[in-house]
Structure 1
């Protein structure tokens, strides 16, 4: 029996028991509040066995992996981080009003942001192949940079009749798509597609700001050092230490007013450093990093070292990370790369523009993202890396590039629901994955009407849960945006948001924003592929 009490002495004089708290902290890298642990009388959960009529492989035999895909172009820009970088202040990601801000700044109706069929700017640089519901890259020459005059709309104050719309540029009025038709009090209210009257940003047409923030296309600036708009390269140590009193990245009172650094650490030792995607489209990479971290925190190197650099021998912290050659795009020879703490920071908010930890207090997620991009692009400079080069990719292969294992792919249209949840269960202990898993969604579908589920987007797979019977099983996933859509905007059949420890006990170990449970049949509908690196 593993206990947390005083160790008893064995006949040879050595302690016979392991401190369970210390072991947990060593394995996960998180401090635990020993006072909050429930007593040992806590009831056990037992799963109900299913019937013998399912169509899974024979007992003891795992489904065979599918042939690895040749090209995977998964990636959706995080709209919250993108808009924050564009407007220079933070958003309340839990407020219903934020949806209106996203729609206004990105010039796209909120319900059309998250599906590739609407040519959403969140998929800038990618186009939809409608035949196979997959994304393809758009050549750089087809990306247009919009100027202010392109976005100007005509004066509508003098429009009195439908014919007047044609006079100001709405051509072929009879063929214009009607988005909404509503009859109220004898008046017909219409919302028409008015793209011919004025341009908006899209997957092919972006402003220079969006291009420089999220796309790898430099448009004549190839030989210039890259820096994001309203951003500068700054030492993350300085940002974190200066940010504590001002608290730009955390909630709650400043530690300087409440007992100093010791009490601050006590207050925040239970917060989480889960990697969160920034103002880029590298959801495939952030989901992969989190999946490896979640399955085995010891695989992630969070230990930096001091080096002496520069003519004055100034001390600087660096992080070394080893990545593994797995072939194809976004890849390089197996090698260890070193990066320093210089990251792109928004000049207005002092926030990292790209990957950050969910609590804003840890540097390693930003450094891992930077190190991977440096490795795959073979950049020599350990300080400055073009963070937009991880524009799209393969989250399952990325997990293998991080942990050195082999990627295995399972396409949902080739496997039954019980098979899919069986794959997750075979990679889990106590309903939590111990081999990193990730999945990506189809590029289009009627179900993508809000940020809880996003088309052509990568998710970490965290485990599974069963609600009383075999045919009511859920796969637990996490959106790398770290955002759970406010209640009241949309709803999804087969999806439960706000996953709490009472429903799924491992939820106590992570920041639950962005974590969902998807019933396995709904998972087959929403997701195109699930995979593991082991």
Structure 2
């Protein structure tokens, strides 16, 4: 239904506003156009963009760019990795999480999210500075650090700058200064220690980090049966049942001591429709943001494409059924290149890696912790690609009834646009932002949306590095995001693209800031936000989107 704002007697409909609302593009206006104070704002015509008018038949939007031969998009989720390393949950809403990440990952927070700093979040990848993109490292290029490698020199006896040479810091005059300041006539310097104090990076990681995030197995025993550190393969349904039981016990305890309050809260939640199950996929402790973002994009635009039948009810009731029914089935489609195989339906059991301390899934999980299909999709995809490139024979073992400990880390980097096509069987289209205008990009999102929500799966990924742009976990270099739709409500002529970080995290306000980005999107601003877990959901102005993001992709 199209609605129009009531006009004053001295106002008239501006045809430019109508056409811009229909096409999602700005039009050049002649000088004879109505003055701005007499033109109605385009805000009242946003719904017109959902109508396939005849004008769109002549203007199909931008043409897709050629499909790239090889993409290595992916950034490790620092929160999931740190939580698995320390064995307990981190309060992601607190600023103190920054200190936990810095200490656990041995890297300053502002240097974690850009490949130019050689961050450990890009373990297994290297920066191609000429083309500003990430490339895979071979196993021989990676080094496993031990305790001896990370030992630092004794600095307690230093009394003057010249003493730094005695601990191995040569050519002091050439040391790079990270930060400098004067306070109370004292000069405070933070210098880069170079090779004197080694730390983890994209090429050098500890064995624990390697075993969590990378498929580089140095021993034959590790290659035969992959299990992450401090983890066990457990039936995801049993983990979920125990988790629900603990939550129920806590809920009953609270209800017993505060029945009136708890009952009123429960009634209010039901009345306002907040009793929802947010099973949005959240990335785990490796760099497969490309796959998790693609999985959520397909789920968001067409939930019926995703198999979420996990036989949980039968399992809870302990109902016996045939062995072949005790499997999770997913169909993936051949789209060529790396991380691919021939079109096939893959079956996996329900065992996934679970951290022994936190009892949380090591890798992909749902945002509410009450669904297991994201974990099973990730495992099934890793099993599907084990045959290698699409032009090689399929090496999948079709003995589906054998226990299968799939090395999930084999999908630590890849192509998010192609991944959507591998999930839903459609054709991928790539639109590199350097080749298209900001108006073309927002127009493409609007053409693929109904009621401001995408009906065709869309993803976007950032550049591998930037001019100081990527300094926090809201916008991350070489990282894939789901594109959920668009908005212009309350923003005048500004138009925003709605994106979701697969980490499911939005930074606390004031920690970092980005021009043109609205964090923590709420339903009051963008109504479809009420249909998903809003952590990690942001609105980015289309001009900023073109600056931060390298490519926008869609499957049709």
TM over 0.5: yes
* 1:436 matches 2:451: no
Seen in structure 2, the aligned counterparts of structure 1 residues 511 and 174 have a Cα distance that, compared at 3 Å, is same
Which residue matches 2:60?
61
Displacement of 1:257 after TM fit?
6.4
Match for 2:251 among 250, 254, 258?
254
C-alpha distance in structure 1 between counterparts of 2:56 and 2:112, whole Å: 39
Give a deviation string over 1:146-190, Cα, whole Å, max 9, x none.
001111111111011111111011122111111001111111100
Displacement of 1:369 after TM fit?
0.7
Which residue matches 1:28?
none
Displacement of 1:383 after TM fit?
3.4
Q: Which runs of 5+ in 1 are unaligned?
A: 2-40
Which residue matches 1:238?
238
Report the 3-state secondary structure (helix = DSSP H, G, I; strand = E; otherwise coil) of the residue aligned with 2:152: coil
C-alpha distance in structure 2 between counterparts of 1:268 and 1:508, whole Å: 9
Which residue matches 1:136?
135
Kept in 1, the 8 Å contact 2:506–2:519? The answer is: yes
C-alpha distance in structure 1 between counterparts of 2:124 and 2:310, whole Å: 35
Kept in 2, the 8 Å contact 1:299–1:403? The answer is: yes
Q: Which runs of 5+ in 2 are unaligned?
A: 7-12, 21-25, 30-54, 257-265, 316-320, 388-395
Report the 3-state secondary structure (helix = DSSP H, G, I; strand = E; otherwise coil) of the residue aligned with 1:463: strand
Give a deviation string over 1:20-60, Cα, whole Å, max 9, x none.
xxxxxxxxxxxxxxxxxxxxx9x99x995445229x99953
* 1:529 matches 2:551: yes
Which residue matches 1:366?
375
Match for 2:306 among 300, 304, 307?
300
Which residue matches 2:484?
462
* 1:284 matches 2:270: no
Kept in 2, the 8 Å contact 1:484–1:497? The answer is: yes
Match for 1:427 among 432, 440, 448?
448
Which residue matches 2:336?
327
Displacement of 1:339 after TM fit?
1.2
Displacement of 1:219 after TM fit?
1.7
C-alpha distance in structure 1 between counterparts of 2:82 and 2:490, whole Å: 42
* 1:410 matches 2:409: no
Which residue matches 2:358?
349
The farther-off stretch of 288-297 and 316-325 is 316-325
Which residue matches 2:188?
189
Kept in 2, the 8 Å contact 1:244–1:255? The answer is: no
Aligned length: 487
* 1:111 matches 2:110: yes
Tell me the TM-score normalised to structure 1 length.
0.86
C-alpha distance in structure 1 between counterparts of 2:138 and 2:161, whole Å: 38
Q: Which structure features the higher share of helix residues?
A: 2
C-alpha distance in structure 2 between counterparts of 1:298 and 1:315, whole Å: 23
C-alpha distance in structure 2 between counterparts of 1:495 and 1:399, whole Å: 25
Displacement of 1:255 after TM fit?
5.5
Report the 3-state secondary structure (helix = DSSP H, G, I; strand = E; otherwise coil) of the residue aligned with 1:254: helix
Which residue matches 1:449?
471
Seen in structure 2, the aligned counterparts of structure 1 residues 469 and 52 have a Cα distance that, compared at 3 Å, is farther
Displacement of 1:71 after TM fit?
0.5
C-alpha distance in structure 2 between counterparts of 1:370 and 1:301, whole Å: 14
C-alpha distance in structure 2 between counterparts of 1:168 and 1:511, whole Å: 51
Match for 1:384 among 405, 410, 413?
405
Report the 3-state secondary structure (helix = DSSP H, G, I; strand = E; otherwise coil) of the residue aligned with 1:461: strand
Kept in 2, the 8 Å contact 1:214–1:391? The answer is: yes
Superposition CA RMSD, Å: 3.0
C-alpha distance in structure 1 between counterparts of 2:491 and 2:193, whole Å: 50
Kept in 2, the 8 Å contact 1:48–1:470? The answer is: no
Displacement of 1:196 after TM fit?
1.8
Give a deviation string over 1:176-234, Cα, whole Å, max 9, x none.
11100111111110000013222100000000000000011012345431100000100
Give a deviation string over 1:302-346, Cα, whole Å, max 9, x none.
123579xxxx97797321110000000000000001112100000
Report the 3-state secondary structure (helix = DSSP H, G, I; strand = E; otherwise coil) of the residue aligned with 2:412: coil
Kept in 2, the 8 Å contact 1:226–1:386? The answer is: yes
Match for 1:486 among 508, 532, 536?
508
Kept in 1, the 8 Å contact 2:78–2:121? The answer is: yes
Tell me the TM-score normalised to structure 2 length.
0.82
Which residue matches 2:262?
none
* 1:275 matches 2:250: no
C-alpha distance in structure 1 between counterparts of 2:241 and 2:491, whole Å: 50
Kept in 2, the 8 Å contact 1:316–1:340? The answer is: no
The farther-off stretch of 154-163 and 461-470 is 461-470
Displacement of 1:466 after TM fit?
1.4
Displacement of 1:143 after TM fit?
0.3
C-alpha distance in structure 1 between counterparts of 2:274 and 2:216, whole Å: 40
Kept in 2, the 8 Å contact 1:106–1:121? The answer is: yes
C-alpha distance in structure 2 between counterparts of 1:48 and 1:340, whole Å: 55
Seen in structure 2, the aligned counterparts of structure 1 residues 206 and 274 have a Cα distance that, compared at 3 Å, is same
Match for 2:27 among 35, 45, 52?
52
Report the 3-state secondary structure (helix = DSSP H, G, I; strand = E; otherwise coil) of the residue aligned with 1:464: strand
Which residue matches 1:78?
77
